[in-house]
Structure 1
Amino acid sequence: MQKEKWFKTYLFIWFGQFVSLLSSSAVNFAIIIWLSLEYKSAEILGYSAIAALLPQALIGPFAGVYIDRWDRKKIMIFADAFIAICTIMMTLVIKDGHVQLNLLYLLMVCRSIGSAFHSPAMQAIAPLIVPENQLLRVSGINQMLQSVSSIAGPALGTLAIANFPINRVLYLDVIGAVFAICSLLFISIPHLKVEVSGSIGQVWKDLKMGMAAIYRNKGLAWMFLYSVMATVGIMPVAIMFPLLTIDHFGGKEFEMSVIEVIWGVGMLIGGSILSIFKINLRKVLLINCMHILLGLTFVFSGILNPNLFIVFVVLTGIGGMAMSIFSAAFMTTIQEEVAPEMLGRVFSLYFSFAIIPSLIGLIFAGNIGDYIGVANAFVIAGLLVIGLGICSFFTPSLMSLGLKKPEE
């Protein structure tokens, strides 16, 4: 498989995906603002988040089977196009202020289905194009793009919703999808042909093969387990950052925006470190250390004196950096440990496993904060993540990941 021109190929991918990520981030933030101002209902926000996440968790594993069978470039193109069509339909649903919430939820579900195909396919193409010794660097650049979009997206979304009605703001997402599709048309991505039947039995068999690919690799299975368990602690905390800013540190809208931006800046720094410097440390060590570092930022944020908001800002930036490095090292480890023809299923399974704790955190975050206090929730979640990072060092099969291949 020819990979000499991988960087030129990825430049096209990065350009299209960055515009798409930026526009999606802007639109998602604009929708949150619009729903908050229009309905002032936590219940409606909760339903919206569930509609956007739950379908990915439910159909993701089955989508992974077809990602491994079909042309991944075509999957990304059709997924982007499908999401864009759903967005256009959303503009009609909320036209002239007459909102039909049930239809809006349904279209958000459809967009989520498109994402269930797009995200794993995007992760699964890297080993087909990129030399193995460059995978961590590519993951770092991907994290940088996501970080920039997470910083600039909310600002763009706020500016857009302040000057245009929500149905026009949604067209930003359509423009981003067009850029992403056009960039893919100029590149060639190898297609791993799989000659199998499309029966339900075969699909289930392929899905079990994806699960077996994880289970057979004991180190990978432990890495998945620890990561999902950490997500149980991380997601409620991620949701409660604004509450900690307001309740514990006495902040307002400006302080909330600072914390959101500084998390993105931290992720940008983490991605930059991986993309610019050649990191010789084993990826499993990066994963474990970043879990511990992230957990420490949560603990110190929870016990911090309310007058030390600036320290909270610094801790948040460090946490964003740790999360960025962890995510890049985690994704690269999967790309190196799993055969390319199985990556669609494995990534889909992981995304599904990770989304379900996100939903649990979303549903119970408010109750957790009310019952034990937001600051205490940060401390408890941080101790959980630290404990998992420490346990990882004492799990031999997990620590053996990457030893069979020389570190480039």
Structure 2
Amino acid sequence: MQRRPSGFSAFTAVWFGQLLSVVGTRMTNFAVSIWVWDATGRATDFALVLLSAFAATVIFSPLAGVFIDRWNRRLTLMISDLGSAVATGLLLVFFLTGSVSMWQLYLVNFATGAFLAFQVPVFSSTITLMMRRGQYPRANAMMFAVRSVPGLFAPALAAALLAASDIRTILLVDTLSYVVAVAAVLLVGIPEVPRQAGAVVMSMWQDCLFGFKYILRNRSFRNLQGFLIVINVLASIGFVLLRPLVLARTGNSATAVSVVMTTGAVGGVLGALVLGTLKSPRDKMLRVLLAIVVFSVFGRLMYGVADVLPLLAFSIMFVSFTIPIIDGYTNTIWQEKVEPHLQGRVFAARQFTEELTVPIATLIAGPLVDLVLTPWMQPGAPGAGLLGGLFGTGQAGGIGLVFAAIGVLGVGVAVAGFVMPSVRRIERILPDHEPAEAADSAADSAADDGDPAPVGVSR
């Protein structure tokens, strides 16, 4: 019987299927947002559609981790994509029959968000089965590209399809993209997760909590995750306020927002390319901490004082360039240290805590700018007299002051990481798990350029 593709070539096939499905999803998100705004004209409805999917991803993350570790990874990947395909197909039926309503959009988005809770943890944990240890950063760079590359062209493609047809065409394309993703998973070899002899059987509830307990009981994991949560909160505050800052500094120019966001997407793709090209270093935390310093200085401090479009675009390119470096190397550390049969639950717990930083940032950023800093930075107010010459006045000055503050805090967090042994030396403190991926069994014969290893094939 002919072997299925394995190793790097197999991972690339799965990755390509996921990339297509994310392009389809981004197109659907764009088209649905336009439809909601045209149909209701209410920002609340627009926000609730987004919130329904986000809330489901957060809520179902711990449960997703349980199933990822209990089932084989092929089945979990397929169920995630098939579930999303069914949800999108159902939405297509609603539009074809002319029976679509807001509650149906909320319900479908909630279902899609629940299935998306599986995506990042299962994809991250599958890397350790399909790739050699030295290839983890490259695989993580490819994962980041799945999130960033569609942002370059999916909205424009969706707009073109809406002009030529309507939302039903986009929903059909999205549904078919999931079918391609499932086919890619079926066609390749994904090794089974090594099972531990004598493992204790846990209840569903115990399994849901296992990932959190695993992180909390290890000092290095606990401190690293706390470190990442703080960085994510600071980054999320900047993300929430980025568009308002650009609008306030450029006279409400939508073109300026488009230029900045596109430049940021280009920076993210370039960062992913560099991460995928570089050889995996022995000291990944050093690069993570240095990238956080660059992120904080260019993306926060410089953004606080930048008042012209070229400088704003230049800053966001540097910021976006560092994000795949930070994410890719930290993910690699977790993949090297956490045993494969535990990774689903641990990575799902990480996803849960890190996703919560977005609503936390939103709750902090909006009231802080609107109720405190904007009045304080109005012309004639105390803040404008002290800091107006550096950050500007009014809303632009208030938002700029927030960016500067979180930039300083970001540098402080990086410095804390440098001086905290449990974080700085985590790669030496914690042992690597024994390689479980099929490709590792041929590490002596496979080249560093990512050629697949013809062993460990699932049939």
TM-score (norm 1): 0.91
Aligned residue for 1:310? Answer: 310
What is the number of residues matched between the two proteins?
A: 404
1:354 is aligned to 2:354: yes
SS in 1 for 2:281: coil
SS in 1 for 2:192: coil
Structure 1, unpaired ranges of 5+: none
Query: How far apart, CA to CA, are the structure 2 residues paired with 1:374 and 1:269?
Result: 28
Output aligned runs, 1:134-213, within 5 Å: 134-192=135-193, 202-213=203-214
Aligned residue for 1:22? Answer: 23
Judging changes above 3 Å, is the alpha-carbon distance between structure 1 residues 403 and 73 closer, same or farther for their aligned structure 2 residues? same
SS in 2 for 1:188: coil
Output aligned runs, 1:206-355, within 5 Å: 206-280=207-281, 282-306=283-307, 308-355=308-355
Query: How far apart, CA to CA, are the structure 2 residues paired with 1:160 and 1:389?
Result: 45
| Alignment counterpart, residue 383 of structure 1, candidates 408, 420, 432 | 408
SS in 2 for 1:211: helix
Query: How far apart, CA to CA, are the structure 2 residues paired with 1:301 and 1:309?
Result: 12
Aligned residue for 2:444? Answer: none
Q: CA deviation at 1:220?
A: 1.8
Query: How far apart, CA to CA, are the structure 1 residues paired with 2:408 and 2:267?
Result: 21
SS in 1 for 2:426: coil
Query: How far apart, CA to CA, are the structure 2 residues paired with 1:113 and 1:141?
Result: 23
Query: How far apart, CA to CA, are the structure 1 residues paired with 2:287 and 2:332?
Result: 11
After TM superposition, the structure 1 stretch with the greater mean CA deviation from structure 2, 175-184 or 228-237, is: 228-237
Aligned residue for 2:370? Answer: 370
Query: How far apart, CA to CA, are the structure 1 residues paired with 2:6 and 2:306?
Result: 53
1:120 is aligned to 2:144: no
Instruction: State the AA in 2 paired with 1:52.
Output: A
User: 1:89-128: per-residue Cα shift (whole Å, max 9, x none)?
Assistant: 1223345765411121011110011111232111110001
Query: How far apart, CA to CA, are the structure 2 residues paired with 1:95 and 1:33?
Result: 17
- The question of whether the paired residues in 2 share the 8 Å contact of 1:20 and 1:177 is answered with yes
After TM superposition, the structure 1 stretch with the greater mean CA deviation from structure 2, 43-52 or 278-287, is: 278-287
Q: CA deviation at 1:305?
A: 4.3
SS in 1 for 2:352: helix
SS in 2 for 1:190: coil
- The question of whether the paired residues in 2 share the 8 Å contact of 1:69 and 1:193 is answered with no
- The question of whether the paired residues in 2 share the 8 Å contact of 1:84 and 1:177 is answered with yes
Q: CA deviation at 1:296?
A: 1.4
SS in 2 for 1:140: helix
After TM superposition, the structure 1 stretch with the greater mean CA deviation from structure 2, 351-360 or 381-390, is: 381-390
- The question of whether the paired residues in 2 share the 8 Å contact of 1:80 and 1:181 is answered with yes
Query: How far apart, CA to CA, are the structure 2 residues paired with 1:397 and 1:90?
Result: 48
User: 1:2-23: per-residue Cα shift (whole Å, max 9, x none)?
Assistant: 9x94112112112211211222
Aligned residue for 2:33? Answer: 32
Instruction: State the AA in 2 paired with 1:241.
Output: L
Structure 2, unpaired ranges of 5+: 374-397, 433-447, 449-459
Query: How far apart, CA to CA, are the structure 1 residues paired with 2:257 and 2:338?
Result: 40
Q: CA deviation at 1:55?
A: 1.5
Query: How far apart, CA to CA, are the structure 1 residues paired with 2:247 and 2:75?
Result: 45
Q: CA deviation at 1:232?
A: 1.7
User: 1:174-203: per-residue Cα shift (whole Å, max 9, x none)?
Assistant: 12101111111111211226599xx99612
Judging changes above 3 Å, is the alpha-carbon distance between structure 1 residues 200 and 130 closer, same or farther for their aligned structure 2 residues? closer
Judging changes above 3 Å, is the alpha-carbon distance between structure 1 residues 296 and 161 closer, same or farther for their aligned structure 2 residues? farther
Query: How far apart, CA to CA, are the structure 2 residues paired with 1:49 and 1:200?
Result: 37
Judging changes above 3 Å, is the alpha-carbon distance between structure 1 residues 264 and 305 closer, same or farther for their aligned structure 2 residues? closer
Bigger Rg over Cα = 2
- The question of whether the paired residues in 2 share the 8 Å contact of 1:16 and 1:181 is answered with yes
Query: How far apart, CA to CA, are the structure 1 residues paired with 2:167 and 2:366?
Result: 27
Query: How far apart, CA to CA, are the structure 2 residues paired with 1:25 and 1:257?
Result: 16
Q: Percent identity of the aligned residues?
A: 22
Query: How far apart, CA to CA, are the structure 2 residues paired with 1:240 and 1:310?
Result: 18
After TM superposition, the structure 1 stretch with the greater mean CA deviation from structure 2, 358-367 or 333-342, is: 358-367
SS in 2 for 1:402: helix
Query: How far apart, CA to CA, are the structure 2 residues paired with 1:122 and 1:108?
Result: 21
- The question of whether the paired residues in 1 share the 8 Å contact of 2:303 and 2:315 is answered with no
After TM superposition, the structure 1 stretch with the greater mean CA deviation from structure 2, 20-29 or 63-72, is: 20-29
SS in 2 for 1:302: helix
After TM superposition, the structure 1 stretch with the greater mean CA deviation from structure 2, 124-133 or 223-232, is: 223-232
| Alignment counterpart, residue 396 of structure 1, candidates 397, 421, 438 | 421
- The question of whether the paired residues in 2 share the 8 Å contact of 1:304 and 1:312 is answered with no
Task: Say what the alpha-carbon RMSD is for the aligned residues.
Answer: 2.7
